[in-house]
Amino acid sequence: MSLAFWIKRFLVVFTGAFGVLVAVALLRGRGWERATAESALWAGIATVVFTATRVYRSRRGEHCELCGDTPDGGKNAACEIRKE
């Protein structure tokens, strides 16, 4: 997978985590500046861990059909989990 794929994945995960964390911080009564600063920090940490784990597993040949990072381009991104 290309570098552009991983950058896009990083930005999508960061944006989602940041949005959730800001909303939670604001609901807890934190100020806007503190909420955004803390959320950016924790979203960055979580995103780095997630992306590094996915890159590691991808290089080992362990592809996730649910994440859509299969070698066939993620055609089965919403597949059912098969129990055997």
What are the residue ranges spanned by the domains of the chain?
Answer: 1-84
- pLDDT tens-place string over residues 25-78: 999 999 999 999 999 999 999 999 999 998 888 888 777 666 666 555 545 444
For the question of whether the overall pTM of this predicted structure is more than 0.85, the answer is no
74 in Cβ contact with 68 (< 8 Å): yes
Two structure tokens written together for 25? 């911080």
Q: Is 5 exposed, middle or buried (0-12, 13-18, 19+ CB in 10 A)?
A: middle
Provide the H-helix boundaries in the chain: 3-27, 32-59
